[in-house]
Amino acid sequence: MTPQFPLETRYWYLRDHQLFRHLNSAELRQICLITNFKSAKKSEIIYFAHDETNRVYLLKKGVIKIVELDAEGNETVKEVIQKGDLFGQITLDDTDLNEFAVALSDSVTVCSFKIEDFEKVIQQNPTLAVKFTKLIGLRFRRLENRYSNLMFKDVRTRLLLFLEEWAEKEGTPTPEGITLKNYLTHQDLASLICSTRQTVTQLFSELKHNGLIDYNRSSIVIPDVKQLRKLTA
């Protein structure tokens, strides 16, 4: 982890986020004073929820995964967090969470606020409060869609839907198709779609055999995302 970021760096990191774009310079600099920044490299743990239960986080750069521990110490990937997303105590309460965040990309930067400090800021700025509420609403809708898929879709469809959403969010157009950085293990994917590593590996082989995807250790290529949509419609 790196030490605290200079105030000017914090200012420009927050300036381009949709949550703070409407603020004037003085308001934004005031928020910078209550903001803590951290950076991490791939596979580093960013936070343990039980150590920092009074913070809400915003991912400025990179991709992370939220991992939950059960009573036996088994790990389950709950969610993948991408640039601009909020995580941590986003409900602004003191619920005890037994989870931690791990960097998936080579370089990750997060900013965080103490809940009590952030509450004071949004109480003083109704527009910021509305934007925060909308972001939380979008997050919960994504989770709701995911849980709906878990209940009503089979494993193959759940994997296809996940790949489709992943491509829409992070895919890069290339001559071969839409290319994704392959930073999730088959075990990670299995946790996210409530399956097993063996099943995910089998489905990947099947999808590759049928020409729907191609993949190696570093990337996944989807030649035709529209074809995936047809299979999940």
**pLDDT, tens only, 203-225:** 999 999 999 999 999 999 999 99
Structure tokens at 104: 């998936």
Q: Are residues 64 and 170 in the same domain?
A: no
Residue 165 has pLDDT above 60, yes or no: yes
DSSP codes of every residue in 145-190: HHHHHHHHS-HHHHHHHHHHHHHHHH-EEETTEEEEE--S-HHHHH
**pLDDT, tens only, 61-111:** 999 999 988 888 788 898 999 998 988 877 666 666 678 899 999 999 999
Average pLDDT along the chain: 89
In a domain, 159, yes or no: yes
C-alpha distances in Å from residue 56, one per residue of 76, 155, 160, 166, 230:
21, 33, 31, 24, 38
In a domain, 1, yes or no: no
Structure tokens at 9: 């760096």
| pLDDT at position 218 | 93
- Name the packing angle between helices 155-170 and 225-232 (round to 10°): 140
Distance between CA atoms of 44 and 38, rounded to whole angstroms? 11
Distance between CA atoms of 116 and 55, rounded to whole angstroms? 9
In a domain, 101, yes or no: yes
Q: Are residues 114 and 191 in the same domain?
A: no
pTM of the prediction? Answer: 0.79
In a domain, 2, yes or no: no
pLDDT range class, residue 3, cuts 50, 70, 90: very low
Q: Are residues 163 and 115 in the same domain?
A: no
3-state secondary structure of 111: strand
Q: Are residues 135 and 160 in the same domain?
A: no
| pLDDT at position 98 | 79
Span 51-70, mean pLDDT? 85
Proportion of the chain above pLDDT 70, given as a percent? 93
Structure tokens at 191: 């946790």
**Who has greater pLDDT, 52 or 22?**
22
Number of domains in the chain: 2
The whole domain housing 24 covers 7-142
CATH number at residue 92: 2.60.120.10
